[in-house]
Amino acid sequence: MPSDAPIRSSFLRPALVIGLFLLALQLIAIIFAPWIAPFSPIEANPIDSLQTPNAIHWLGTDELGMDIFSRIVFATRVNLLIGFAAVAISLAIGVPIGVLVGYYRGFTGALVMRFFDFIQSFPVFVLGMALVAVLGQEIWSVVIVLCMLFVPMFSRIVRAEVLSLRERPFIAAARCSGAGDFAIMFRHILPNAMTPVIVQISVSIGMAILLTAGLSFIGAGVRLPAPEWGLMVSSGAQQMILGVWWVALFPGLAIVFSVLSFALLSDEAKRLLDTSRPGVRR
């Protein structure tokens, strides 16, 4: 029986501790935002426009007089909602497609993969602007854009695993025991194909947060006055040359720490899964 000492030691790794700490801060901001934020995140107050960080407005105010700290706290809800929703929907769609096209090889599977190639050939920001023009500048428009990027990615990951697993001896044994295709795909193959998917989930959430900020930065994402990190960076970027650095800096740091937390957790999840899962489960 393998020792669980490597698994226990993985929980003491600095990268995991930092990742969990940053994630915990985001979850606290999501749950307790109304109590943490001292001001409304959407109410403008022109009298307080462009105040530097001070005792009242801890991170200063933007050109509309909105408190930056309050907007960053509430923006955590928006950015993580988009990230989690996009990844969850992409998982629900992409994983079954990946299993099916990997198990049933042939013309249909090749056609699906070529369709994914066609979708992924569009630059994400061009696709975002096109969908915003059709669907409107709403949160769910951003989610749809991200799903169109992530569904092919999850499908390809699962398909690659299924192509390898379907030829293993334990699959032949399952067929000999009378198991049908559905049972083989979703009871025997899929559980063994989920390790890279689990790792990719954390990476994709961080990527979704970064892409959401990028779409909002170019005007194809969330619209004012909704609090969103990329939108805040966009509104402050034009003023940095005038010395108004705080409007864009602090939301930019929020993006950095959020993406960093999921990148660290993804790396540690891969280490943990590789340690605790030395072989394929039958």
pLDDT 10s digits, 226-268: 899 999 998 888 888 888 899 999 999 999 999 999 999 988 8
CATH assignment at residue 131: 1.10.3720.10
Determine what percent of the chain is predicted with pLDDT higher than 70: 93
d(CA 245, CA 233): 10
Residue 45 domain flag: no
pTM (2 d.p.)? 0.87
Residue 15 domain flag: no
Residue 80 domain flag: yes
Residue 40 domain flag: no
Residue 213 domain flag: yes
Residue 146 domain flag: yes
Determine the average pLDDT of the residues in 173-179: 78
Under a CB-based contact definition with an 8 Å cutoff, are residues 127 and 152 in contact?
no
Residue 102 domain flag: yes
Q: Show the domain range for 215.
A: 23-32+57-276
Residue 257 domain flag: yes
Give me the pLDDT at residue 25, please: 94
Strand ranges inside the chain, DSSP E: none
Q: What is the mean pLDDT of the chain?
A: 85
DSSP string, 9-35: HHTT-HHHHHHHHHHHHHHHHHHHHHH
Q: Is 50 exceeded by the pLDDT of residue 282?
A: no
- Under DSSP, the state recorded for 47 is G
Domain total of the chain:
1
